[in-house]
Amino acid sequence: MNTTMPDKLKRPLYIFVYDELLLQITKGKYPVGSKLPSEPDLAKKLGVSRATLRQALALLQDDGVVRNSRGKGNFVIDSFYKQQAGVQLEKLSNPMHKCHISTFDRIDTHYRLETKTEYTKQVLKKDVSEVAAIERLYRKENNLVGYAFTFMSMETVESLSLDLDHKEQLLNFLENQAYVNANHGEMEIKYTHTVNLANQKEKLIGQNECFLLLESLYGDEDYPLMYNKFYIPQQFSKIKLLFINS
């Protein structure tokens, strides 16, 4: 498996729109159960195109903040803020490698530094000043077959002595060492029809039908070491759920 040097990313416009909408929702402008303005009106209010707005809305839907009802519009829901007890099923390990049928020829990494937002405060469960936003692009025969996005506070990065520009160290931590360091994790599995990559020229094979794995890894603290979003196209997935009678 080959790796490439992490590159710094520009923050996409739809992420700014996402953050602004999430802030308005958390401040009560659009309370739980309310309907958001129509897409044309909301795009006009925010000063962006409908295409950019739809990317932001797709992320809000993935994260359980908004639900789209076909023909009726987008409604604010409260699942994003509910803490639900999880059940430990097996030993912690990287879900991309456990749930994807492929072995990868190369994993490319890119990162950017961001100031705190309402979203990072929610997913990292801590009010931090700066956050590392890291992409991983999983390739097989030059095709993009998997995608992951990670948030880590810079406090965590510094406490672990991670060098974001050191390709091998960063990738080894994200792919392996984080699961050794973590005491436990939480994961939610969803299904999505939208994958928003920072580089719009990149296309994930099968991106219109993907499993989305939302993962929080915890060390000794009450807040996560890192928060991951793994996108696995359905055609490459080997996700199985086992149910038994208690």
The pLDDT tens digits of the residues spanning 160-196 come to 999 999 999 999 999 999 999 998 899 989 889 988 8
* Angle of CA points 123, 127, 130, to nearest 5°: 90
**Half-sphere exposure of residue 201: CA atoms within 13 angstroms, side-chain side:** 0
Is 29 inside a domain boundary? yes
Is 31 inside a domain boundary? yes
Residues comprising the chain, all counted? 246
Tell me which residue of 161, 154, 194, 193 sits closest to 177, measured CA to CA: 161
Is 246 inside a domain boundary? no
Tell me which residue of 103, 97, 155 sits closest to 126, measured CA to CA: 155
**19 in the same domain as 111:** no
Tokens for 206, please give them. 């099968």
CB 134 within 8 A of CB 126: no
Distances (CA, A) of 8 to 35, 147, 157, 174: 37, 17, 16, 17
CB 133 within 8 A of CB 109: no
CB 32 within 8 A of CB 74: no
Residue 196 three-state SS: coil
**74 in the same domain as 120:** no
Is 3 inside a domain boundary? no
**122 in the same domain as 73:** no
Name the pTM for this structure: 0.74
Q: Which residues of the chain have pLDDT under 70?
A: 1-10, 78-90, 240-246
The neighbouring-strand residues paired with 139 are 106, 144
**213 in the same domain as 101:** yes
For residues 91 and 111, what is the distance between their CA atoms, to the nearest angstrom?
28
- The whole domain housing 229 covers 95-236
**68 in the same domain as 113:** no
For residues 231 and 193, what is the distance between their CA atoms, to the nearest angstrom?
10
Residue 90, pLDDT score:
57
Is 222 inside a domain boundary? yes
For residues 119 and 210, what is the distance between their CA atoms, to the nearest angstrom?
22
Of 27, 58, 81, the domain-final residue: 81
Residue 2 three-state SS: strand
